[in-house]
Amino acid sequence: MLNEQISVKSFGEICPGKGSNTRTPYEHQRKAMEHLDLMNKSKSYSTLVVLPTGGGKTYTASLWLLKNAIDKGKKILWIAHRQMLLEQAAESFQKYAYAEVVPHISSFAFRIVSGSSSHDRTSDIKPKDNLLIVSKDSIGRNLNRLDSWLADEDEIYLIVDEAHHSTAKTYRKVIEYVKSKVPCVKLIGLTATPFRTAESEQGLLAKIYTDGIKDGQVVHNDIGIAYQIGLKELINRQILSNPTFESCYTEEKFGESLGVDAWKSIQNFDAIPDDIAEQMAESAERNKLIVERYRKNQEKYGQTIVFAVNVMHAIQLTALFKKAGIKADYIVSSIKDSVTGVTISSQENEQKIANYREGRLQVLINVNILTEGSDLPKTKTIFLARPTVSTILMTQMIGRALRGTKAGGTAEAYIVSFIDHWNEHIAWVNPESIFGGSNEFVDNTADRLKRDLRVIAISKIEEFASILDDSIDTSAIEKVPFIQRIPLGMYAFTYLEKDGMDLSHQVMVYDSTAEAYQNLMDALPSLFETFNATEEYLDDATLDKMEKTCRDSFFCGEMIPAYERKDVINILKYYAQYESAPQFYTFEDVDKNKLDVSKIAQHIWDEDMGERKKAEYIDSIWESNDDNMLRLFFGRKLYFLRQLDVECMKISHPGIYEDAGPDVKFGTRALEDLPLSEIGKYKPELEKELRDQAFEKSKNENGEYCCAICGMADKSKVWFQVDHITPMNNGGKSVPENLQILCRQCNGTKGDK
């Protein structure tokens, strides 16, 4: 039995088809290949091909490589960070290898290598492999396994999929290794993320990709783009649909007390824990909201795909859609579901998909089956009834509705997100971020304003919801002038986890935290140097220590809204991979004054409105205020009304936030008898003042901070820690004369003693 041979898809030989490829390249794909032809006249080069989501970058690259590399006997090393991307690349080469493209060969060998049990290992790589499709971490840990494969090669094609990640350390290590082994490396990066042309925003990417096409000529040591086309252009050409994003806020709260394992399951594997998935699936109000949203907009939404949480959710939603008179069905994996016992064969799924394709179904509900590979061009709308932390999965879900009329699809597409309350701040992907955040897709002020308001609104959900919850003390945030609770901008970035999961983050920056974040960004190189943090993936203990240093150096003092510890950790994870600070995007198009609820409250007070007049006034501004800015910002009218009540109360009862509360007599201790971190809990500004004074008095004549023991000097605070000269357990006080600055090593040595 152990000698029995079975068929596997991880390696094999591809024999070109005798017929013709039925897929004809679009104009932008032909242009991209023509530009690569020009680039290919150079012996070596490194360039980018930028095609947006739905633009067919894998198809374009594989078709060109078949003709220019495979047919000429040149080897290809294709690198990506996800198993799914590797398989998509292999499938594309298999699907489009026709004799008309590769007329000079009878076959070629391919191999997929990753940590997946369904793929080969690096030890399986053979010198005769023509096409090697590998995960960046598998090959990054075993670079010497490429030696025999690269031996005697004078030219190789190196492809980096999702090339905006290629500035990560492992990618750079692989690229440099291949260049050290082969004289002529032709490096092509594929990405849907627009390459920024401002010099200040090019960063490491511009150092990797140095060759491009400008005015029909190959240029070197410039912005390395062989070809780029934007979303707007593909939409104008009717190849892609014009996407409209809608947010539908539910009343549901999930994951309020997630354990560490559950949180990691979501963040690292995009897997919602079973108990929470069950809550979501069985939420009658949430399910009713999903069905009603479609029922009221049937004509606008047209054929719709709903991405459900699990099998039970798909079954329940299907029943509700049918009850509402809407032709709907669901498809699930052919593997038996352990919870429901439901098994649907692939043949049944195909029949249901055919019914949907032919218009006999209006709604098709599924659990992550229709993420890629299914040809359903008439899909006009996507309902995101399950959240995801994966940008790849989000791209595939919304991609089901992006086929334009020239591609047999629809002119308009609707992406409807059902947004719940998650009190653990899970970094769910915002579907609009798939389109590059602030790239050229959003090309006018009105569109930018709407996008920014939706992004801000999602970030404020928990704050608004907590003010509705009487069990939570929100007096500190309520005391802050409302205009200061509107963010100035955000740091938006994506990094990779060890398993290849790509996580997107948006860190909101307020008046209270803007200076601290800027100081952190300036200090990142020194911070990583002082911790000797050189690994691409930092362990939790190191991240915790680094975050504490950031807190003590930059974020002490009163900040309301406060910084989030997790935001700093995510920034550290990003820097560990890319060695550059994330990009800051300003919300300059948002006129904060138009969202200032305190001004609305003041107007109500000045006009001495009665309850009826007040209600009419509120309804009027909620319905018509500046293209519904208030509705975009708050999402729910209930949130707006609660904020307005708070601001009205501040005016009618000015001292309400100074109330002493219950008369409890606690014991007392002098502030000077507390550690600095404890002082910060009571008097954050005093803690900041004491730390600043200690640093200030340690400066030498060159303006550098100096360690009081070894004399080490540097201009960055992150090298040092504030220390008590006489330890507190020996009677020392937290007073300026007992505070000094020590470098991290001296402070550790002193602590050991």
Q: How would DSSP label each residue in 489-520?
A: EEEEEEEE-TTS-EEEEEEEE-TTTHHHHHHH
> What pLDDT does 298 receive?
95
394 and 291 assigned to the same domain? yes
Residue 18's domain comprises: 11-229
Distance from C-alpha of 600 to C-alpha of 605, rounded to nearest angstrom:
9
How far apart CA 249 and CA 418 sit, in angstroms, is 6
Are 340 and 311 in contact, with CB atoms under 8 Å apart?
Answer: yes
303 plus 219 within the same structural domain: no
The pairing of strands 131-135 and 75-80 is parallel
Q: In the prediction, which pLDDT does 66 show?
A: 97
User: How far apart, in Å, are the Cα atoms of 460 and each of 454, 590, 633, 640?
Assistant: 10, 15, 9, 12
Tell me what pLDDT residue 440 has. Answer: 42
d(CA 516, CA 691): 15
The domain boundary residue, chosen from 207, 229, 251: 229
Judge if 298 and 210 occupy the same domain: no
**Rounded Cα–Cα distance for residues 331 and 505 (Å):** 32
Instruction: Give the span between the Cα atoms of 7 and 9, in whole angstroms.
Output: 7
Q: Report the alpha-carbon distance of residue 322 to residue 324 in Å, rounded.
A: 5
Q: How far apart are CA 330 and CA 316, in angstroms?
A: 10
pLDDT in tens, 288-336: 999 999 999 999 999 999 999 999 999 999 999 999 999 999 988 645 4
Mean pLDDT over the full length of the chain: 86
Distance CA 195, CA 395 (A): 18
CATH number (domain holding residue 713): 1.10.30
Contacts for 571 with CB less than 8 Å, ≥ 6 apart: 491, 493, 507, 520, 524, 581, 582
Q: How confident is the model at residue 744 (pLDDT cuts 50, 70, 90)?
A: confident
For residue 503, is it within any domain?
A: yes
CA–CA dist 189, 293 (Å, integer): 41
Q: Residue 693's pLDDT is what?
A: 94
Cβ atoms of 36 and 64 within 8 Å: the answer is yes
Categorize the per-residue pLDDT at 159 as very low, low, confident or very high, splitting at 50, 70 and 90. very high
| Predicted confidence (pLDDT) per residue in 396-417, tens digit | 788 888 888 888 889 999 999 9
Structure tokens given for 134? 């590998």
Mapped onto helix, strand or coil, the DSSP state of residue 550 is helix
What pLDDT is stored for residue 333 in this prediction?
67
For residue 181, pLDDT beyond 50: yes
> What is the bridge-based pairing of β-strands 720-724 and 739-743?
antiparallel
Whether 266 and 366 share a structural domain: yes
End-of-domain residue from the set 385, 413, 443:
443
Q: Residues 215, 156, 578, 133: is their CA dihedral positive or negative?
A: positive
Residue 46 · residue 209 · CB < 8 Å: yes
CATH of the domain at 61: 3.40.50.300
Residue type, 86: L
Q: What is the pLDDT of residues 577-604, one digit of tens each?
A: 988 898 888 888 888 888 899 999 999 9
CA distance 239 to 31: 15
Determine, yes or no, domain membership for 661.
no
Closest CA to 453 of 620, 196, 245, 297: 245
Query: Rounded mean pLDDT of 457-482?
Result: 80
* Lowest mean per-residue pLDDT among 207-216, 365-374, 743-752: 365-374
Three-state SS for 91-128 is HHHHHHCECCCCCCCCCEEEEEECCCCCCECHHHCCCC
Provide the number of structural domains found in the chain: 4
Q: Report the distance separating Cα 262 and Cα 288, nearest Å.
A: 27
- Tell me which of 384, 418, 443 is where a domain ends: 443
| Token pair recorded at residue 11 | 């390696």
Whose tokens are 């098994």? That residue is: 343
**How would residue 203 be classed by pLDDT, with cut points 50, 70 and 90?**
low
Q: Do you find a cis peptide bond into 662, omega within 30 degrees of 0? A: no
pLDDT at residue 667 tops 70:
no
| Gap between the Cα atoms of 216 and 38, Å rounded | 9
Residues 154 and 266 in one domain: no
Mind listing the pLDDT tens digit for each residue in 118-151? 899 999 999 999 999 999 999 999 999 999 999 9
For residues 437 and 579, membership in a common domain is answered with no
Of 229, 298, 204, the residue nearest 575 (C-alpha): 204
Specify whether the CB–CB gap between 382 and 305 falls below 8 A: yes
Its pTM stands at 0.77
Cβ–Cβ under 8 Å, residues 57 and 26: no
* 187 φ, ψ (degrees, to nearest 5): -95, 120
* Residue 432 C-beta-side C-alpha neighbours within 13 Å: 24
Is residue 627 in some structural domain? no
Residues 63-90 have pLDDT tens digits of 999 999 999 999 999 999 888 889 999 9
Mean pLDDT throughout 112-122? Answer: 91
Quick one: pLDDT at residue 408? 85
pLDDT exceeds 50 at position 430: yes
Quick check: 202 pLDDT over 70?
no
Q: What token pair was written down for 230?
A: 């934007």
The neighbour count for residue 608, using CB atoms within 10 Å, is 8
Do both 45 and 180 map to the same domain?
A: yes
> Are 225 and 252 in the same domain?
no
Q: Of 174-188, 266-280, 330-344, 605-619, which gets the smallest average pLDDT?
A: 330-344
Give the percent of the chain with pLDDT over 90. Answer: 50
Residue 27, in any domain of the structure: yes
Residue at token pair 């609770």: 485
Q: What DSSP character marks residue 387? A: -
Determine the pLDDT at residue 33: 97
C-alpha–C-alpha distance, residues 401 and 416, integer Å: 11
pLDDT at 528: 95
Q: Is residue 452 part of a domain?
A: no
Q: Which pLDDT does position 437 carry in this prediction?
A: 46
Alpha helices in 358-509 (DSSP H): 391-399, 445-468, 475-479
Q: What is the pLDDT, as a whole number, of residue 322?
A: 96
Residue 698 lies inside a defined structural domain of this protein:
yes
124 and 163 both lie in a single domain: yes
Residue 311's nearest CA partner among 283, 288, 289, 340 is 340
CA distances from 194 to 198, 230, 428, 444, 453 (A): 12, 8, 22, 17, 22
Does residue 367 contact residue 310 with C-beta atoms inside 8 Å? yes
Q: Is residue 640 part of a domain?
A: no
Residue 670 three-state SS? coil
C-alpha–C-alpha distance, residues 434 and 162, integer Å: 12
Is a pLDDT exceeding 50 seen at residue 682? yes
Instruction: Name the more confident of 117 and 99.
Output: 99
Q: Name the pLDDT band for 197 (thresholds 50, 70, 90).
A: very low
- Banded pLDDT at 657 (limits 50, 70, 90): low
Task: Determine the pLDDT at residue 442.
Answer: 45
Q: Name the packing angle between helices 565-578 and 540-550 (round to 10°).
A: 110
Say what percent of the chain tops pLDDT 70: 89
Residues 184 and 330 in one domain: no
Is residue 702 located within the same domain as residue 679?
yes
370 pLDDT band (50/70/90 cuts)? low
Name the one residue in this structure whose structure tokens are 């008097």: 683
User: For 265, left (φ over 0), alpha (ψ -120 to 50), or beta?
Assistant: alpha
Lowest mean pLDDT among 34-48, 431-445, 489-503: 431-445
Question: Does 667 reside within a domain?
Answer: no
114 and 191 co-located in one domain: yes
Query: What is the Cα Rg of the chain in Å?
Result: 29
What's residue 661's pLDDT?
47
